[in-house]
């Protein structure tokens, strides 16, 4: 078992700013969009003309020039911290893009989610009362964690956001103290993720797929048709857009609730959890399965497992995505040459064992993860003699307590 380490924690609450505060925040959102979009356009123009990138320091100096421009004098009416944070986020977005970890940064729209990030110099949090820079009155919010004392909260950053459905939220990010270790269970489990069943474990437990998006697909399509029939720029179109956003929010919240319950139960019941390194971005290119795969939330599920294992001293092992878990017999180790996706049960031609595809894959994932964990063995690509190292080779540092094992991509 691994020792727990401190991790950054975020508490997201409903916020209820008054009318004056809403106007001030909307003005701040608008200034953030102007700074972001003009800086992004300048980056593109400079790269097209000179094939030269732009550093954060250069964008920061450009912000000073913007604020001196009489046409952009309204930038001085809001706090400068959210504007500078927008430039930092844009710089980080380009770093991630050039590292092939994210897509190219895009221009911001007023119709999407709006957010402003405030660092310690732009807010005050005392006795559970939040005050933002250039706002006289505190912002009212509802605290939803009775076991956490809000009066003792010392956030490092505050994020105020307005969702497309009109709801306001405030998020507090803090560096949490290490939590106590969960009691040892002496159990390890392999987890095979799927579409028909969200997950199947090596203990032959099936976690049903709630299909949150499919259950609300008809009502969502109805709202979207009504939105399409409205005239652009009309008040009815704005109301219809809110209804569509509200329907999406219900799907998103239902999926998040399911993922949190499933991941928390796995972390509490097992000392070691082993999963596959799924290439979700490549899998959704299949247009027949794209919506079903996207609705599962496999990437979010893995993210939750990572930070929960880190927080509670559990161990998460991620095996190579090329490991043939479905085509390998968990009884004798025989490897099939081919296994179609619609074949849910198969019989091993070597030992005659009858396999359920998903349960067999989960058992193989468990065995591969334990073997790698015990002796550092390598996992071979199916049909290839090249050996992929079981140790994470990316330049990003591995978080303590979460050994991530994956092969080449």
The catalytic residues are: 192, 276, 358
H/E segment holding residue 62: helix 56-68
The values of phi and psi at residue 404, to 5°, are: -105, 120
d(CA 51, CA 143): 49
DSSP per-residue letters across 344-380: -EEE-TTT--EEEHHHHHHHHHHHHHHHHHHH---EE
Contact 105, 95 (CB under 8 A): no
Residue 201: strand pairing partners: 191
Number of other residues whose CB lies within 10 A of the CB of residue 299: 12
- Smallest Cα–Cα separation from 140: which of 130, 150, 126, 155? 130
Pairing label, strands 157-162, 197-201: unpaired
Residue 192: name the closest of 361, 14, 318, 397 by CA: 361
Helices 56-68, 19-50: axis angle to 10 degrees equals 120
253: number of Cβ within 10 Å: 11
Torsion sign over Cα 252, 253, 257, 258: negative
Q: Are 370 and 188 in contact (CB under 8 A)?
A: yes
- Structural element, H or E, at residue 237: helix 235-269
Buried b (16+ CB within 10 A) or exposed e, 100-110: eeeeebeebee
What is the C-alpha to C-alpha distance for residues 292 and 318, in angstroms, rounded to an integer? 23
Residue 131's alpha-carbon distances to 29, 76, 122, 128, 229, in angstroms, are 17, 19, 9, 10, 42
Distance in angstroms (rounded) separating the CA atoms of residues 29 and 49 = 30
Roughly what angle, to the nearest 10 degrees, separates helices 235-269 and 298-312?
50
- CA–CA separation, 182 and 265 (whole Å): 12
């Amino acid at each position: 078992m691994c020792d727990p380490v401190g991790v950054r924690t975020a508490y997201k609450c409903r916020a209820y700013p008054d009318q004056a505060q809403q106007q001030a925040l909307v003005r701040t959102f608008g200034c953030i969009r102007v700074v972001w979009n003009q800086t992004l356009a300048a980056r593109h123009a400079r790269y097209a003309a000179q094939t030269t990138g732009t550093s954060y320091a250069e964008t920061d100096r450009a912000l000073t020039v913007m604020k001196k421009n009489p046409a952009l004098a309204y930038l001085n009416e809001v706090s400068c911290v959210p504007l500078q944070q927008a430039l930092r986020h844009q710089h980080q977005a380009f770093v991630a893009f050039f590292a092939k970890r994210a897509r190219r940064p895009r221009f911001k729209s007023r119709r999407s989610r709006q957010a402003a990030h405030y660092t310690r110099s732009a807010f005050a949090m005392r006795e559970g009362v939040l005050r933002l820079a250039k706002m006289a009155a505190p912002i009212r919010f509802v605290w939803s964690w009775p076991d956490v004392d809000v009066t003792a909260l010392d956030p490092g950053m505050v994020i105020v956001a307005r969702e497309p459905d009109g709801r306001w939220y405030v998020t507090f990010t803090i560096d949490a103290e290490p939590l106590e270790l969960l009691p040892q269970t002496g159990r390890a489990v392999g987890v095979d993720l799927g579409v028909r069943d969200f997950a199947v474990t090596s203990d032959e437990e099936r976690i049903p797929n709630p299909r949150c998006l499919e259950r609300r697909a008809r009502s969502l399509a109805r709202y979207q048709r009504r939105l399409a029939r409205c005239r652009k720029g009309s008040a009815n179109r704005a109301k219809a857009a809110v209804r569509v956003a509200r329907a999406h929010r219900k799907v998103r919240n239902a999926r998040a609730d399911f993922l949190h319950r499933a991941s928390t139960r796995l972390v509490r019941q097992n000392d070691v959890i082993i999963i596959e390194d799924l290439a979700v971005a490549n899998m959704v290119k299949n247009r027949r399965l794209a919506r079903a795969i996207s609705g599962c939330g496999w990437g979010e599920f893995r993210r939750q497992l990572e930070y929960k294992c880190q927080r509670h001293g559990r161990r998460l092992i991620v095996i190579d995505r090329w490991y043939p878990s479905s085509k390998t017999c968990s009884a004798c180790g025989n490897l099939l040459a081919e296994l179609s996706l619609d074949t849910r049960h198969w019989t091993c031609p070597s030992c005659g064992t009858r396999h359920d595809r998903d349960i067999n894959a989960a058992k193989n994932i468990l065995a591969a993860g334990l073997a790698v964990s015990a002796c550092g063995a390598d996992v071979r690509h199916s049909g290839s003699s090249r050996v992929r190292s079981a140790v994470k080779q990316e330049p990003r540092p591995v978080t303590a307590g979460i050994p991530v094992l994956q092969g080449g991509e």
